[in-house]
């Protein structure tokens, strides 16, 4: 009777036993059969979850650079070298433009006017000049207006010599993670990644996180390209943190009656059930039950269990269309015959070996 009970139990399919934090039994999650309707519903759900409002990040026409606190300005009043003070003379400006200045090939501090903590510079005759938030052209016009009271038709050259006020941080799977200064070249997401040396082969292009204040955005580069959205229009702001996740953080675990159970790395956020089974050698022909292919998925709300019967018509097409998600567990149950052999071996150790030996005797 004990043997009959075990055999009956092993033919009912995969059994799930759930417990709460106190160890009390909970109802097992219902098994959802993988069908065309379920696949379509899952795709709609994934599309809704993936639709994040990135419009506030998109800036097709970036504005010019604005001066900030800590920036160093190079200011030249032509024909008036006495106004250079601790700044840049006309000769120095010409030498720097030609690349022959004394500091052109050294790490020595460049002369210039530093924007103070209140966003001002101090310039002869003009006094304390508020330049924070102004473009180079606007700052030049303001300084020209101030000096026109003392100099007839002042000819002024003003440019940002050192960009030190605005930075972004690039981390994760890039060649050179660290701080990147925002300069007159628009700091788009693509520009920031290129300045960081580009993505490593281990980078997951589907999982790029951008943190801006309390907001967090998840960016899928390949998905944007497929939708016809140019990632180069994503403009970074000062203080942004960009992290490129590793593909190793998005794995799918395949176990049970497959040829080679193992953890699989997703391909830039994509891996189908058919691909997962194929990369593990497929269902074991000796012990696997093609009727019982399960996908266990932990969601914030509950645990979901999907089942595929590979014997049905169109099951391979459904397996190719069923998208797995990171941390999914694919499990192939054993066939009734394989379960019978294993339980019999546990009940009567060595019985099958002895029977085979007796049968093989001459």
- Encode pLDDT of 2-22 as tens digits: 333 333 334 445 555 555 556
Domains, in order of start, for the chain: 55-62+166-248 (3.10.560.10), 72-98+110-162 (3.30.1950.10), 250-338 (3.10.560.10)
Predicted model pTM: 0.71
Say what the pLDDT of residue 96 is.
47
pLDDT surpassing 70 at residue 98 = no
Mean pLDDT of the chain: 83
Other beta carbons less than 10 A from residue 337's beta carbon: 12
- For 184-239, where are the E strands, in sequence order? 203-212, 215-219
Q: In the chain, count of helices (H) and strands (E)? A: 10, 18
- Encode pLDDT of 211-257 as tens digits: 999 999 999 888 888 888 899 999 999 999 999 999 888 899 999 99
Q: Are 168 and 187 in contact (CB under 8 A)?
A: yes
How sure is the predictor about 336, in pLDDT bands with cuts at 50, 70 and 90? confident
Say what the pLDDT of residue 272 is.
94
pLDDT surpassing 70 at residue 148 = yes
pLDDT surpassing 80 at residue 104 = no
Q: What DSSP element (H or E) covers 287?
A: none
Say what the pLDDT of residue 86 is.
53
């Amino acid at each position: 009777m004990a043997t009959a009970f075990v055999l009956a139990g092993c033919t009912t399919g995969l059994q799930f036993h759930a417990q709460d934090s106190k160890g009390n039994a909970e109802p097992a999650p219902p098994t959802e059969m993988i069908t065309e309707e379920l696949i379509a519903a899952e795709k709609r759900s994934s599309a809704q979850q993936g639709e994040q409002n990135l419009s506030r990040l998109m800036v097709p026409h970036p504005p010019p650079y604005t001066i900030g606190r800590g920036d160093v300005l190079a200011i030249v009043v032509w024909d008036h070298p006495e106004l250079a003070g601790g700044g840049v003379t006309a000769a120095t400006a010409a030498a720097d433009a030609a690349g022959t200045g004394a500091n052109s090939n050294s790490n020595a501090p460049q002369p210039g006017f530093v924007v103070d903590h209140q966003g001002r510079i101090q310039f002869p005759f003009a006094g304390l000049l508020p330049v924070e938030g102004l473009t180079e052209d606007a700052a030049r016009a303001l300084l020209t207006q101030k000096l026109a009271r003392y100099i007839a038709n002042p000819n002024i050259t003003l440019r940002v010599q050192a960009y030190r006020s605005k930075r972004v941080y690039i981390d994760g799977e890039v060649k050179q993670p660290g701080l990147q200064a925002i300069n007159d070249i628009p700091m788009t997401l693509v520009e920031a990644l290129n300045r960081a040396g580009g993505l490593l082969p281990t980078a997951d292009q589907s999982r790029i996180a951008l943190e801006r204040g309390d907001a967090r955005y998840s960016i899928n580069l390949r998905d944007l390209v497929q939708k016809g959205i140019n990632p180069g229009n994503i403009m970074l702001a000062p203080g942004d943190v960009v992290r490129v996740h590793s593909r190793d953080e998005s794995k799918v675990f395949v176990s049970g009656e497959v040829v080679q159970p193992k953890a699989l790395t997703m391909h830039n956020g994509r891996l189908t059930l058919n691909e997962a089974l194929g990369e593990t050698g497929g269902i074991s022909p000796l012990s696997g039950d093609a009727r019982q292919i399960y996908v266990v998925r932990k969601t914030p709300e509950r645990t979901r269990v999907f089942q595929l019967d590979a014997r049905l018509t169109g099951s391979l097409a459904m397996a190719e269309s069923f998208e797995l998600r990171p941390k999914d567990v694919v499990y192939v149950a054993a066939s009734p015959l394989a379960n019978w052999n294993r339980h019999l071996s546990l009940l009567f150790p060595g019985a099958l070996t002895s029977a085979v030996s007796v049968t093989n005797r001459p």
